[in-house]
Amino acid sequence: MPIKTIIVDIGGVVLLENPAFWERLQQEYNAPSNVEALFYGSESPWADCRTGVIDERQYTELVARRLEMEASTLASLRQSLEWEVNRLMVDWLKGCRQGGREVIALSNADFSLEQRLTDFGLFDLFDRVLNSARLGVAKPDPAIYQMALAHTASPAGQCLFIDDRPKNLEAASQLGLKTVLYENFDQFVLEANRLLNVPE
């Protein structure tokens, strides 16, 4: 069956982590070498933030406390430096929409996702933006993929799900979605275009 709907992760796919953010935390604020784990590791407050239990302000305050930083300073750094736009991926998604395919964002994110996409000029790239913090459930819980499918007329077999985490792809695949792991754009585009029957 032809792919009619693209369901795509944001962080790590459409927006890429900016190495300068982590470097600045370490160089100017003496953050430890495992600073990323303080933000997103299993012991971090990220699990509560991505499911809407706490908001991004509370999350930033908790992480700042661990880093012994002012929360306002960390919030400013996050806003200005944490993410950068993956222009190649944005152009590919634009091509999908121009070709008549539906494009849905499905992201484990905090409540600021929609504003962040707007600030980057990306919100209108998507037909719908599904944010785990607003849904109250996060990938790889099967429920979030079922919610995504409820927002499209396409059956699972006509949806392509793109994510940078294998465990998220495994859960989607079990529900019948086609999947592609995003590691880098060159690798991704070969696999995705093959599924979309786009000539090389």
Q: Of 72, 100, 101, give the one whose Cα is nearest residue 7.
A: 101
Residues 174 and 187 in one domain: yes
Residues 110 and 174 in one domain: yes
Residues 12 and 27 in one domain: no
Residues 12 and 63 in one domain: no
Going by their DSSP bridges, the two strands 159-163 and 178-181 should be labelled as parallel
What CA–CA distance (Å, rounded) separates 126 from 140? 21
Which phi and psi (to 5°) does residue 198 adopt? -90, 125
Structure tokens at 192: 């995705």
Residues 64 and 90 in one domain: no
On whether residue 163 sits in a domain, the answer given is: yes
On whether residue 200 sits in a domain, the answer given is: no
Whether pLDDT at 1 is above 90: no
Residues 162 and 188 in one domain: yes
On whether residue 32 sits in a domain, the answer given is: yes
Are 106 and 135 in contact, with CB atoms under 8 Å apart?
no
Host domain of residue 74: 19-81
Radius of gyration of the chain (CA): 17
Last residue of a domain, one of 81, 109, 130: 81
Whether pLDDT at 115 is above 80: yes
Question: 128-172 pLDDT, tens per residue?
Answer: 999 999 999 999 999 999 999 999 999 999 999 999 999 999 999
E strand or H helix at 9:
none
